[in-house]
């Protein structure tokens, strides 16, 4: 079965990149962090990250403005703290109990289903969750106000 897959991919590469054939593949690389943010955070924190999402009226405590995390931390983006809030190790005081979903647990659950798509690549549930959380943190670091 392994040889069959390799042969298939070898033929695919040859067909796509054979001499004299010009195939333009113009697909933008998706911003995984932005996608994670829009899917998991924007409903409360807003598309801009300023805490003005559509669910604001349903919450007891207004969501934080995520664009000032660096500013509120002496100009340094607090990577460790943000990671721990997302994965559930650090509770956000303003949330009281735990109104914000613990995305780390959800990522681990989703990663169990994603394992089938990784075939022969090294894969663990923690690695899958970590990559998605780090992509989200990278996006949050890029939307910081100056």
Q: Using CB atoms within 10 A of its CB, is residue 13 exposed (0-12), middle (13-18) or buried (19+)?
A: exposed
Q: What is the pLDDT of residue 138?
A: 97
- Given a contact cutoff of 8 angstroms between Cβ atoms, the answer to whether 38 and 141 are in contact is no
User: For residue 86, what pLDDT is reported?
Assistant: 85
State how far the Cα of 102 lies from the Cα of 107, in Å rounded to an integer: 9
Q: Cα–Cα distances in Å, from 71 out to 74, 75, 132?
A: 6, 5, 24
Residues 108 and 129 sit within 8 Å (Cβ to Cβ): yes
pLDDT tens per residue across all 146 residues of the chain: 566 666 766 766 655 666 544 445 556 778 999 999 999 899 999 999 999 999 888 888 889 999 999 999 999 999 999 999 888 777 775 555 555 555 555 666 666 565 555 556 565 667 778 888 999 999 999 999 98
Check residue 141 and give its pLDDT. Answer: 98
């Amino acid at each position: 079965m392994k040889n069959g897959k390799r042969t298939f991919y070898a033929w695919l590469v040859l067909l796509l990149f054979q001499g004299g054939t010009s195939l333009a593949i113009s697909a933008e690389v998706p911003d995984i962090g932005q996608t994670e943010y829009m899917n998991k955070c924007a409903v409360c924190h807003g598309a801009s990250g300023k805490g003005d999402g559509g669910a604001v009226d349903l919450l007891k405590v207004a969501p934080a403005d995520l664009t000032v995390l660096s500013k509120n931390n002496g100009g340094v983006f607090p990577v460790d703290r943000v990671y721990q809030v997302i994965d559930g190790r650090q509770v956000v005081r303003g949330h009281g109990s735990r109104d914000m979903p613990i995305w780390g647990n959800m990522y681990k659950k989703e990663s169990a289903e994603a394992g089938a798509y990784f075939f022969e690549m090294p894969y663990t549930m923690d690695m899958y969750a970590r990559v998605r959380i780090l992509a989200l943190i990278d996006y949050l670091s890029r939307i910081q106000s100056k």
